[in-house]
Amino acid sequence: MGLALAHTYRGTILEAVAYVTSINLPINAETLSDRARRGPRYTSYPPATEFDSGFGASDGDRELASVPGGAPVSLYCHIPYCRSLCWYCGCNVKISRDRSKGSSYVAMLCRELRLLAGKLDSSTQLVELALGGGSPNFLLEEDLTRLTTTIRETFNVADDAEFGAEMDPRETSVEFLATLSQLGFTRMSVGVQDFDEAVQKAIHRFQSIEQTDKVISDARRLGLDHVNVDLVYGLPAQTPRSFSRTLDAVIGFEPQQIAMFGYAHLPQRIPHQKLVERGGHMPNALERAELMLFATDRFERAGYVQVGIDHFARPDSPLVHAALSGNLHRNFQGYVVRRAERLLGCGASAISDSGGAYWQNHINIEQWERSVRAKQLPIARGVRLDQDDQIRRYVITKLMCDAELELTEVEKRFAIDVREYFAYELDQLSRDEFNELVEIELDDGWLCATALGCQLLRNICMVFDRYNRHSDLNPNDGSRPSFSPTV
C-alpha cells in the first residue's frame, strides 16, 4: 500500500485486503487487471512525449540563469554504454565492448559540465549526484575518477551531498566499487530483473544469484551501504512460481530498497523488444496483476513497506522517512527523497527539470557532442510549463507520492477555486469507474486514494492530465496504446 493514506488506509497489503473486503471490494488480480489502462508513468508532468523541438539551447540558458543563488540542485549524468543488449531494455543505450569509448564520452561530459556550471550562479549547491545509464560501470576506473573530480572542481558540492550510481552486477569489478567508494559514493542501484533461467534467456540477460550477491557484499564492505535492487514483472516465461526464487534471493540480499517495475512492451517504439516475443508466453493483464500482488505480498511479509506504486523499502530507510514526512518526490529515476527542486541532466538523452521547464539533451551521441563542442547546451527538445501545467504537475506529483491531495492547499497555492477549475475532473472521478479508487470530501477539502486506488494511482492521475485527451486515446477505456499498462 502507498504510505501517506492518512484519511483512508495505513497498513500492510494483507490488512488492506481485509480493509477493502470490508467495503466489498477485494484487491485481487481480477480487480486490478480489469482496471489496468495504458498511460504515462508520471515521472514528469507534462510527460516526456509532450516535449517539443521548439525548446532549444537559448531557452535552457534562460532557465539556468533564473536559478537563484545558493539554490540546491541535483545532478544526473547519463552513461549510455552497455556491453550487451538486454532485449527488454527501454533506456537510451549504445552497445560496445570497447571500454575506451567511455574515455572520449567522459571527456565530452566534462566539457558539458563546465558549460552548464558556467551558466549557473557559482553559489548553486550540488546536493546529489546520480550516475545512470546504460551502465556507469562500463567506464574505466580512471574515467570515473576524472568525471567525479571534474564535478567536484566545477560545482559547489555540499558537504553532505549524496552520490549514487546504477550498477550492472554482471560487469562490476571490486576495483570499480573501491574507486566509487574512494570518490565518495555511498549508494548503489543494482539491476536484477529475474534470476529464472527461462526468463533470462527470453530477455537475453544472464546473471547469477551468486554474482549479484558478491557485488552487493563487496560494495557494502567498501562503504556503499545503501543498496537498491531493480526487478521487472510481466516478462515472458515469468510465473509466480518461477519469480518466487528471485524474490527469495533478493530479500536475502537485504537491500534498503527494491524497485519493481511492470515491463513496458512497446516494440512499435522500441523495435529490439520484438526479440522478447520469441521468449515464450508473455503474461497477460491478469497474470501481470498476479505477479505484482504475489511479489508485493512477499516483500511486505519480509518487512518491507510499499512506497508509491512500485517501490518497497525497509521501515527505517530514508525513502520511508521521506514518504512519512511528505518529502517524497518522483522523477525520471522513480521515487526519490526530495533533496532539491531542480535537476540538471548531463550526457546524451539526459533530462533536466528547472521547476519551470523540462528539457532533454540530444539522444544521438554525435549530435550531443557537436553541440557541446560548439559550446551550446545540447538540448533537443523541452517544454516550458504554463500555469495550468504547474497546477496539474502539483496535483499529479502529490497523488503519485502521497496518494492523497489537500484540495484547500491547491486553492491556496495557486489562487484557484478547485471545484470550478477541476469541474470536469471531479465529475469524472465521481463516476462508477473511479468511486472504488478515490474518496472525495469536497467540504473537508480532501481527495484520497482508496487501498485499491493506491495500486492504480496512474489511472487517477490520467484524469488530471490535460494531455491525456489526445488523438491516440482509446475512447472506450481511456487507454493510450503508446504507454505501458498501469498494472
Closer Cβ to ligand SF4, 138 or 422, answer by number: 138
- Can you say how many angstroms the Cα of residue 249 is from the centroid of all Cα atoms in its chain? 23
Closer Cβ to ligand SF4, 154 or 361, answer by number: 361
CA atoms within 13 A on the CB side of 237: 17
State which amino acid sits at residue 245. Answer: R
Q: Are 408 and 383 in contact (CB under 8 A)?
A: no
Q: Does 134 bind ligand SF4 (CB under 6 A)?
A: yes
- From 13, 82, 144, 151, residue interacting with ligand SF4 (rule: CB under 6 A): 82
Q: Which residues, 6 or more positions from 231, have their beta carbon under 8 angstroms from its beta carbon?
A: 192, 193, 194, 246, 250, 258, 259, 260, 261, 295
For the bound state, the minimum distance from the C-beta of residue 102 to ligand SF4, rounded and expressed in Å, comes to 13
Closest by CA to 346, choosing from 174, 150, 171, is 150
State which amino acid sits at residue 215. Answer: V
Closer Cβ to ligand SF4, 85 or 249, answer by number: 85
Closer Cβ to ligand SF4, 85 or 209, answer by number: 85
Torsional sign, CA 371, 372, 377, 378: positive
Closest by CA to 52, choosing from 392, 391, 357, 471, is 357
For the bound state, the minimum distance from the C-beta of residue 93 to ligand SF4, rounded and expressed in Å, comes to 5
- From 71, 85, 285, 473, residue interacting with ligand SF4 (rule: CB under 6 A): 85
Closer Cβ to ligand SF4, 89 or 380, answer by number: 89
For the bound state, the minimum distance from the C-beta of residue 79 to ligand SF4, rounded and expressed in Å, comes to 10
Footprint (CB under 6 A) of ligand SF4, residues 143-182: 168
For the bound state, the minimum distance from the C-beta of residue 135 to ligand SF4, rounded and expressed in Å, comes to 5
Grid coordinates representing 466?
490535460
Closer Cβ to ligand SF4, 306 or 360, answer by number: 360
For the bound state, the minimum distance from the C-beta of residue 169 to ligand SF4, rounded and expressed in Å, comes to 10
For residue 25, give the DSSP letter. -
Q: Are 94 and 394 in contact (CB under 8 A)?
A: no
Q: Which residues, 6 or more positions from 18, have their beta carbon under 8 angstroms from its beta carbon?
A: none
Q: How far apart are CA 453 and CA 177, in angstroms?
A: 40
Footprint (CB under 6 A) of ligand SF4, residues 361-390: none
Interface with ligand SF4: number of residues (CB under 6 A): 11
Closer Cβ to ligand SF4, 46 or 133, answer by number: 133
Closer Cβ to ligand SF4, 82 or 401, answer by number: 82
Region from 82-90, 254-262, 311-319, 419-427 binding ligand SF4, contact rule CB under 6 A: 82-90
Footprint (CB under 6 A) of ligand SF4, residues 86-115: 86, 89, 91, 93
Footprint (CB under 6 A) of ligand SF4, residues 114-133: 133
Q: How far apart are CA 479 and CA 468, in angstroms?
A: 9
- Per the DSSP assignment, residues forming a β-bridge with 187 are 164, 226
With cell 491556496, the residue in question is 412
Q: Does 191 bind ligand SF4 (CB under 6 A)?
A: yes
For the bound state, the minimum distance from the C-beta of residue 82 to ligand SF4, rounded and expressed in Å, comes to 3
For the bound state, the minimum distance from the C-beta of residue 166 to ligand SF4, rounded and expressed in Å, comes to 8
Q: Which residues, 6 or more positions from 339, have their beta carbon under 8 angstroms from its beta carbon?
A: 72, 74, 127, 128, 162
For the bound state, the minimum distance from the C-beta of residue 136 to ligand SF4, rounded and expressed in Å, comes to 10
Closer Cβ to ligand SF4, 40 or 134, answer by number: 134
Closer Cβ to ligand SF4, 138 or 253, answer by number: 138
Mapping DSSP to helix (H, G, I), strand (E, B) and coil, where does residue 65 land? helix
Q: Does 137 bind ligand SF4 (CB under 6 A)?
A: no
Distances (CA, A) of 480 to 133, 455, 459, 465: 27, 19, 11, 12
Footprint (CB under 6 A) of ligand SF4, residues 419-478: none
Where does this chain bind ligand SF4 (CB under 6 A)? Answer: 82, 85-86, 89, 91, 93, 133-135, 168, 191
